[in-house]
Amino acid sequence: MAQVGKTIPEFKAQAFHNGEFVEVTSESVKGKWGIFVFYPADFTFVCPTELEDMASHYAELQGLGVEVYSVSTDTHFSHKAWHDSSEAIGKIKFPMLGDQTGAITRGFDVMIEEDHMAHRGTFLVDPDGVIQVAHIHNGGIGRSAKDMVRNVKAAQYVRDNDGEVCPAAWEQGQATLTPSLDLVGKI
């Protein structure tokens, strides 16, 4: 079961990426930050708006050393067809993983078994393959890539600045906190 502080499950999948089919594995994603964006299905309604939003923030995320992986229980062939036929999905430059067996979706614990589709799950994974952020949304609630960019910056700051934590709504450049006995009851 995928939870904050746990290592991502082992997997191997075919993905559509930059006009080619490529293999992506749990080992190949390690070594850099990663965002896994699970969504119910290709050729749907809310999903393309979310993936287009993530695509619009992709260059910024790449600048932060982050790779994005979209995942659904569709095949990599379906991802290619969707990419080729949708203006919104055509903007995607990140790998689109096919998970037709549902193994990855189940491994991250976002499978809706009766529908064989994923919940809207978003996971931020550190370079060691450890989940640092996990968001799961109801099917009718679209996500914001801008929120995930803020989560990335906060997670990277905390990783690089041992002993410091980021308060609510923290933005890069703002003050952080250093938990100590002196702060107890003063916030």
Hey, which residues are catalytic here?
47
User: Three-state SS string across 65-86, please?
Assistant: CEEEEEEECCCHHHHHHHHHHC
Please answer whether residues 90 and 81 qualify as being in contact, where contact means their C-beta atoms are separated by less than 8 angstroms: no
Tokens of 45: 């309604």
Residue closest to 95 by CA, chosen among 145, 54, 154: 54
Size (the chain), residues: 187
Q: Would you give the DSSP letter of residue 165?
A: B
Helices 46-56 and 145-160, axial angle in degrees (round to 10)? 50
37 DSSP β-pair partners = 70, 122
